[in-house]
Amino acid sequence: MKPRRSALAAAAGTLALVLTACSGGGGGADAGSQDPDAEVTFWSFTGIGAQDGLEEYLAKKPDAKVKLSEVGSTTETATALTAALAGGEVPDLVMIQNDDLPKFVENPDNFVDLRTLGGDDLGDDYLDWATSFATAENGALIGVPTDVGGLGLAYRADLFEAAGLPTDPAEVAAAWSTWDDFIAMGTAYTEKTGQPFVDNVETTVFFATVNQVEEKYYSDDGELIYDTNPEVEDAFQVAVDAYEAGLSADIAAWSSGWDPGRANGSFAVSIAPSWMLSQIKNAAPDTAGKWRVTSVPGVGGNWGGSVIAIPARAENKAGAWQYIETMMSPEAQAEHFEKTGTFPAAKEALTTEAVLSHTDEFFGDSPIGKVMSESVLQARSSHNGPDTGAIGGGLLNALADMQTGNTAPEDAWETGLKNVEEAIGG
């Protein structure tokens, strides 16, 4: 079936006219800003495969010119963009990670409303919750979703087999369909082996559970509710329960023991958003074929993702839009996934054969594409406010302190609330 024409292709014939109206605070559009093949300055963060995407773009548009700068981490890139928007030289095109989006969405006049370039229905091509993260209160769409981080769990099939547990991804998913089931399976594993089940509870359990709630740290109208929302406290309690059941190896994500733990079997299960799978492969190459990937308990979820935006003072809006139009269509996101594993945010891409049939020998040919696609399609949307990252960090740190013995399990929730108050102001 021929795919429907993406909304990204709309309005291309009137682009030069629209750009003049969208110049924001940057004055009238000059000759360069109306030439899509003039040089585009592109800021990205590291680890997103921007260079791969650029090479794909130049293969499609050989006359185009792009100067790519991988600024640094997601936070460093957002900080550089904040400084540039305050009066410095802005790029024509910039990647913004979802956790950093809220403060930029609060000031939509700093960016081109991409609906003026791709049509009012531009956001319809993408997961609704991903589009909502980049949509301002006035309706402006300041960025097009580039990717998401579908949630899965990676587990060691060889260790499961030794413990008498099921090893097939579908059977494992059925066996831990709820978080109570997950804790029960973990308890059976630890009792049989005497070894921890998960690497830690703050990321492998809490990040998954809290990203499955219907309302998270903010209400739909932007009111802070993290401290009164029972869904958040319940998600936090699942992590505490998993810890008290003795499931955790107490190895924090990105700590010095995490990669060795993946390699030597210090734990059997770890959170695995789509972008983390390559990290597992790089950390533990000798475990190829021993890992599997399956669904998280509950209703799927997401961890990660980005958008691509055009600052209002960009000099070459036409070139920036040409990049977005070429590389962010559903068809292009599916192609990019096949080459790099970057998981698409475009709904149509998520149902392509290329995505749904994706497997990996390292993970025992687990149905990774199907697992991740179902996860993000089921993911619930919640308001992403300016302090979402700080709130999540405060709660996560309380769980980390619990694992190191500095906080009693019964005090962890209150400790988390105090952490958040200190971070954002009570």
User: SS3 sequence, 113-137?
Assistant: CCHHHHCCCHHHHECHHHHHHCECC
The percent of residues in the chain predicted with pLDDT above 70, rounded, is 92
pLDDT at 41: 98
What value does the mean pLDDT take over residues 6-14?
38
Asked if residue 17 has pLDDT above 50, the reply is no
Asked if residue 1 has pLDDT above 50, the reply is no
Q: Give the closest residue to 253 by CA, choosing from 200, 214, 209.
A: 200
CATH homologous superfamily of domain 7-148+304-348?
Answer: Periplasmic binding protein-like II (3.40.190.10)
Contact 39, 316 (CB under 8 A): yes
Contact 395, 236 (CB under 8 A): yes
pTM for the structure as a whole: 0.89
Mean of per-residue pLDDT scores for the chain: 91
Which residues are within 8 A (CB) of 79 and not within 5 positions of it... i.e. 6 or more apart?
none
pLDDT at 426: 63
What value does the mean pLDDT take over residues 130-159?
96
pLDDT at 48: 84
**204: which DSSP letter?**
I
Q: pLDDT digits over 252-267, tens only? A: 999 999 999 999 999 9
What value does the mean pLDDT take over residues 142-167?
97
What value does the mean pLDDT take over residues 185-198?
98
What CATH class has 150-303+362-424? alpha beta
- Gap between the Cα atoms of 361 and 140, Å rounded: 43
What value does the mean pLDDT take over residues 158-164?
98
The pLDDT confidence band at residue 251, using thresholds 50, 70 and 90, is: very high
Q: pLDDT digits over 196-214, tens only? A: 999 999 999 999 999 999 9
Strand partners, 248: 198
- Gap between the Cα atoms of 73 and 45, Å rounded: 5
What value does the mean pLDDT take over residues 362-383?
94
pLDDT at 340: 87
Instruction: Write down the residue that tokens 């210090």 correspond to.
Output: 266
Q: pLDDT digits over 288-345, tens only? A: 999 999 999 999 999 999 999 999 999 999 999 999 999 999 999 999 998 888 999 9
The pLDDT confidence band at residue 108, using thresholds 50, 70 and 90, is: very high
**Three-state DSSP class for residue 159:** helix
pLDDT at 382: 87
Asked if residue 27 has pLDDT above 50, the reply is no
List strands edge to edge, sheet with 269-271: 269-271, 153-156, 291-294
Asked if residue 407 has pLDDT above 80, the reply is yes
Asked if residue 75 has pLDDT above 80, the reply is yes
How do the domains of the chain map onto residue ranges?
7-148+304-348, 150-303+362-424
Report in angstroms the alpha-carbon separations of 353 from 126, 289, 304, 334, 335: 18, 23, 23, 9, 11
Angle, in degrees to the nearest 10, between helices 412-424 and 388-403: 140
- Gap between the Cα atoms of 240 and 412, Å rounded: 8
pLDDT at 49: 84
Lowest mean pLDDT among 72-86, 222-236, 374-388: 374-388
Specify the DSSP element, H or E, that contains 69: strand 65-70
Asked if residue 29 has pLDDT above 80, the reply is no
Asked if residue 236 has pLDDT above 80, the reply is yes
Pairing assessment for the beta strands 302-309 and 269-271 based on DSSP bridges: unpaired
pLDDT at 9: 40
